[in-house]
Structure 1
Amino acid sequence: MSMPRASARRRQWAAAEAGLAIDAHDVLLVVEIASPSTRVTDRTMKPSLYAAAGIAHYWRLDLEPAPCLYLGTRAGVGYEERVVQAGRSADLAAPFQITLDPGHLTR
């Protein structure tokens, strides 16, 4: 079954309006909280997929064994990563100005 282009666009727009889908080119930053059951996927597969989709920034908060924030900025086919441990602050200018301490994100 083939769907006319206009109909496909209407469906994409309706899905986006309902919060069901977002085009990757509209995403500036992805933030995830890693869980033990998805840790491998969160560390390896997801960043590769987000970078391939052109998403400029990828942040991941690992809570175990202690809160640690991984701040990724797209560089080539992957992300250049900066690691911030709990009790340390990161002053960021991109994608927006903010100061973060992973230890404060778990309260």
Structure 2
Amino acid sequence: MTVEPFPQWLRPPTGGFVAEDLDRLPDLPPHTELIDGSLVFVSPQAKFHVLAVSLLESGLRGSTPKSMRTRREMTVTLERNQRPEPDVLVVHADRDGDLDLTSYRAEDVVLVVEVVSPESRSRDRERKPQLYAKAGIPHFWRVENVDGRPVVYVYELDPATNCYALAGIHHDQLRLTVPFDIDIDLRNIDSL
């Protein structure tokens, strides 16, 4: 077995990678994110992750008003060196862009959803919410696997502190009136 040389394009430039690099670097694995100027590669996802993302995407698509669109696994450019990829997001319809769009801007986004995986636990619980809040995204959901069932932690941006405040923890039913009327039976994860 021979060891392939480290690709030069993967070596970070002085000051780290920037958001535009995700569109121009060759051979990046799918779903590569940029966090704090570093490339983050996604590990293979567990079945729970895939099912939870599908459940929430489907539930949101059925609830999203005409003025908004539900999207899956699209990056959001927050700053020059921050371009995370939420699992699910809701954007303003008039800012949804054309079919060549590769990243939304923070001001386009109403809600971001992160389904926590073992390898991304710290990023999904700590770093990404900090970045989303600092960028002014009004709503953030964190989804945890508790005994094979999704538990959704719902956060709203506090404009006085520019930090997220916990607005609720939902175990079986996700029923909300903000950012719009939402009613998702979380127990349906097994039916997908």
Pick the aligned partner of 1:83 from 142, 165, 169. 169
Q: For 2:189 and 2:101, how far apart are their aligned partners in 1? A: 25
Is 1:32–2:125 an aligned residue pair?
no
Q: For 1:40 and 1:106, how far apart are their aligned partners in 2? A: 27
TM-score, normalising length: structure 2: 0.43
Q: How big is the shift at 1:27?
A: 0.4
Q: For 2:178 and 2:134, how far apart are their aligned partners in 1? A: 20
Distance 1:103 1:39, change over 3 A: farther
Pick the aligned partner of 1:99 from 166, 183, 188. 183
Q: For 1:106 and 1:32, how far apart are their aligned partners in 2? A: 19
Distance 1:91 1:35, change over 3 A: same
Task: Give the conservation status (yes or no) of the 8 Å contact 1:84–1:101.
Answer: no
Q: How big is the shift at 1:93?
A: 0.8
Structure with a larger share of its residues in helix: 1
CA RMSD in angstroms comes to: 1.8
Q: For structure 2, which runs of at least 5 residues remain unmatched after alignment?
A: 1-96
Q: For structure 1, which runs of at least 5 residues remain unmatched after alignment?
A: 1-15
Q: For 1:39 and 1:101, how far apart are their aligned partners in 2? A: 24
1:36 is matched by which residue type in structure 2?
P
Q: For 1:29 and 1:54, how far apart are their aligned partners in 2? A: 10
What does residue 12 of structure 1 align with? Answer: none
Q: How big is the shift at 1:25?
A: 0.5
Helix, strand or coil at the partner of 1:22: strand
How many residue pairs get matched? Answer: 90
Q: For 1:94 and 1:105, how far apart are their aligned partners in 2? A: 22
Pick the aligned partner of 1:60 from 142, 145, 152. 142
Pick the aligned partner of 2:152 from 69, 72, 75. 69
Distance 1:84 1:24, change over 3 A: same
Structure 1 stretch displaced more, 95-104 or 29-38: 95-104
TM-score, normalising length: structure 1: 0.73
Task: Give the conservation status (yes or no) of the 8 Å contact 1:67–1:106.
Answer: no
Q: What's the CA shift string for 1:31-75, capped at 9, x where partnerless?
A: 121111101110000001000000000012112444210111111
What is the percentage of aligned positions where both structures have the same residue? 34
